[in-house]
Amino acid sequence: MNLHVARTGNGPDLVLLHGWAMHAGIFAPLTELLAPRFRLHLVDLPGHGYSGTDANAADTSRWAARIAAAVPRDAIWLGWSLGGLVALQAALDPNTHARGLVLIAASPRFVVAPDWPHGVALEVFEQFGAGLHQRYRETIERFLALETLGSAHAQSELRDLKTRVFAHGEPHIAALEAGLALLESVDLRARLRELTMPHLWIAGRRDRLVPPAAMRWASVQSGKGEFVEMASGHAPFISHADEVAQAIDCFAQGIADA
């Protein structure tokens, strides 16, 4: 499987992982702001964008290991939404040697459970999975609409996401199914105490997919986390790019000064 990683900028290494059905180009507003201060490694997840498919795709450990082999050691890892699960998995693997972890609108568990009210109903992802084989593009656009729901700038964000979503080509159906399976099944809550590096959780106050309470809870589990909440929906790096970039810069500077 070929893994596409675009690189730009100068400074400490920062790995960026996008969300479901997207590609690394979705980070364009953030890339422009961070490139003067970081060496960015913009990854297209397996089966997304310019990256090839993975026969054993529904496995965050496999994805994380494959990406870790393609990026520098001692980098800071940043993940948005589904990419956050992969980045968190990478940070939990000592062989990755991650220096820091930034999670944007991501959760250690995306689906609700009797002991976890901070997620969405399983049926939400099941419906998207069924729709992939019926109305492929419509299903992705419905997911984009869900991502922008609640944002003060929902219409403009949705237009931006729709413009960018297929810029690196269309993701493979198998990869989309695998990604949904990960969102439905992965639960890393119990392992958060294993995090040994600093971690920053950036939440959107109006996010309808990942409640800020999920990220606030996750940030305190290891004693090394920070939590920031912005007046955004599920994609704060689009609507509040300056604030997100500033939070990342301050976080990285704290690591450098430690």
Pairwise CA distance, residues 245 & 240, whole Å: 9
Query: Is 81 a residue of the active site?
Result: yes
CA-nearest of 13, 227, 201 to 99 is: 13
Is 128 in a helix, a strand, or coil? Answer: helix
Q: Which of 207, 219, 232, 239 is catalytic?
A: 207
Pairing mode, strands 76-80 and 100-104: parallel
Q: Which of 219, 234, 239, 240 is catalytic?
A: 234
Q: Which of 81, 151, 232, 239 is catalytic?
A: 81
Query: Is 23 a residue of the active site?
Result: no
> What are residue 100's DSSP bridge partners?
76
Residues in contact with 128: Cβ distance below 8 Å, sequence separation at least 6, in sequence order: 139, 142, 143, 180
Query: Is 41 a residue of the active site?
Result: no
Surface-to-core class of residue 137, CB atoms within 10 Å of its CB (0-12 exposed, 13-18 middle, 19+ buried): exposed
Q: How far is CA 94 from CA 23, 69, 90, 223, 226, in A?
A: 26, 13, 8, 18, 21
Residues with a catalytic annotation lie at 81, 207, 234
